[in-house]
């Protein structure tokens, strides 16, 4: 039964490939920044099939929304959710594509246009196969989440969670296109797949002075140098080599002239780990180093902690469903398991803190013409979008017995 539904669903995706491609191109040409996705939302909503069993949940105070293909029974019971993000980035596009961004300085450089198209295609497949799916999925719904503001902390997932998007969700699935993985591949692992992160914005203050009289001043540049150097041992010496972690100093600002020791200095440091405990320990370590060194130098400090996203921990049961869908959609040779995690983050992790979740990567790499995510020349092939749509469509069949 399941295999005949899958066959029909995959054929449907092949047949409607042009529509899905156009859907993505329209989104790509009209990108909107995080928290500004009004026309993106309205465009997607205008394309949602109108049926009595299709329920749209949209709001006045967030452009994120979700669409249920409802099978009846308890209205709050939901079999499974698929999440796509819909926001773009402040980047001037340089692809030269016929459907390149019409909005100056804004670009879909993270593939969220493709994610939305894939989820839309899977939603249409669910609507088209409603009757046969309903025979097997007797209660609840298949939920398709179109989330705003993934690129901007604290992320648009929180707003939707507040609105009740996770009510009754038994499993949730997310996808991200990935140029460093070959096109046609699906990659996933159990446990941590994306890191949690936190940024510390630090300001040091102390007695400035003449460059020629250092004995009368507090040298904040030397102090910052010691803090930066000492912090490197937090990963190399204080964390197990088997626990991935990152301490990256990404900004430092001080000084205005070549003969003045400055009286203030600011830096920021990005901390990442796949394990919340490791992240907490690293943060405590950096704070301790700052405190001790500042005491030694007679400087003051102020630390502002900016929370990023939590680590994304894949639940093995949800991973199993994803793997089965990927084998059906892309074939055994298209499956990479277990894939290595990445130290970037995604606020999909917030959903997975509430219900079992699985986040996976869809390869879009195609040799030398491939550019990384967030690059002004980033693009992917139509076949990648088709692969992703098939994958998500096959995934909904996993819930059909």
Shortest distance in whole angstroms from residue 110 CB to Zn ion? 3
- Residue 158, CA distances (Å) to 113, 162, 163, 349 in order: 21, 6, 9, 11
Q: Point out the catalytic residue in the list 25, 87, 219, 347.
A: 87
**Rounded Cα–Cα distance for residues 322 and 257 (Å):** 58
Q: Between helices 17-29 and 2-15, what is the axis angle to 10°? A: 60
120 or 301: CB nearest Zn ion: 120
Q: Is 87 designated active site? A: yes
Shortest distance in whole angstroms from residue 85 CB to Zn ion? 6
Residues that bind Zn ion (CB under 5 A): 110
Shortest distance in whole angstroms from residue 24 CB to Zn ion? 15
Asked whether 198 and 271 are in contact (CB, 8 A), the reply is: yes
Nearest-5° Cα angle at 302, 264 to 280: 135
- Residue 174, CA distances (Å) to 106, 252, 256 in order: 24, 35, 47
204 or 391: CB nearest Zn ion: 391
278 or 349: CB nearest Zn ion: 349
Which tokens sit at 371?
Answer: 């550019």
Shortest distance in whole angstroms from residue 154 CB to Zn ion? 15
Shortest distance in whole angstroms from residue 71 CB to Zn ion? 31
Asked whether 388 and 349 are in contact (CB, 8 A), the reply is: no
Q: Which runs of E-coded beta strand occur in 121-244?
A: 140-147, 172-182, 186-187, 191-194, 196-205, 209-210
**Rounded Cα–Cα distance for residues 394 and 401 (Å):** 13
Q: Is 347 designated active site? A: no
Asked whether 54 and 68 are in contact (CB, 8 A), the reply is: yes
**Which residue number is nearest to Zn ion in terms of Cβ?**
110
Q: Point out the catalytic residue in the list 150, 198, 219, 346.
A: 150
120 or 399: CB nearest Zn ion: 120
110 or 294: CB nearest Zn ion: 110
Q: Which residues are catalytic?
A: 87, 150
């Amino acid at each position: 039964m399941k295999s005949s539904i899958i066959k029909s669903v995959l054929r449907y995706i092949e047949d409607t490939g042009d529509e899905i491609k156009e859907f993505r191109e329209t989104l790509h040409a009209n990108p909107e920044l995080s928290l500004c996705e009004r026309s993106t939302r309205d465009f997607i909503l205008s394309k949602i099939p109108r049926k009595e069993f299709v329920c749209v949940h949209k709001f006045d105070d967030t452009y994120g929304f979700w669409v249920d293909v409802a099978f009846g029974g308890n209205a709050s019971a939901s079999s499974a959710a698929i999440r796509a993000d819909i926001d773009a980035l402040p980047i001037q596009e340089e692809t030269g594509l016929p459907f390149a961004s019409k909005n100056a300085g804004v670009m879909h450089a993270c593939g969220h246009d493709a994610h939305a198209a894939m989820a839309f295609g899977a939603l249409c497949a669910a609507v088209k196969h409603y009757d046969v799916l309903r025979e097997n999925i007797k209660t609840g719904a298949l939920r398709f989440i179109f989330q705003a503001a993934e690129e901007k902390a604290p992320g648009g997932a929180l707003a939707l969670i507040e609105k009740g998007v996770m009510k009754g969700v038994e499993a949730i699935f997310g996808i991200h296109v990935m140029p460093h993985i070959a096109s046609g591949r699906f990659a996933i692992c159990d446990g941590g797949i994306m890191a949690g992160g936190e940024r510390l914005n630090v300001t040091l203050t102390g007695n400035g002075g003449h460059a020629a009289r250092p004995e009368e001043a507090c040298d904040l540049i030397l102090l910052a140098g010691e803090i930066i150097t000492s912090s490197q041992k937090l990963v190399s010496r204080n964390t197990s080599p088997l626990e991935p972690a990152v301490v990256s100093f990404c900004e430092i600002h001080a000084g205005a002239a070549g003969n003045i020791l400055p009286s203030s200095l600011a830096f920021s440091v990005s901390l990442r780990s796949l394990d919340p405990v490791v992240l907490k320990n690293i943060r405590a370590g950096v704070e301790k180093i700052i405190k001790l060194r500042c005491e030694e130098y007679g400087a003051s400090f102020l630390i502002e902690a900016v929370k990023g996203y939590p680590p994304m921990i894949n639940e093995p049961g949800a991973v199993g469903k994803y793997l089965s869908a990927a084998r059906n959609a892309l074939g055994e040779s298209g499956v990479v398991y277990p894939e290595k995690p990445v130290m970037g983050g995604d606020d999909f992790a917030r959903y997975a803190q509430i219900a079992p979740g699985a986040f996976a990567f869809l390869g879009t790499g195609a040799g030398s013409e491939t550019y990384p995510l967030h690059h002004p020349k980033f693009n992917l092939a139509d076949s990648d979008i088709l692969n992703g749509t098939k994958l998500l469509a096959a995934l909904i069949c996993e819930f059909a017995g």
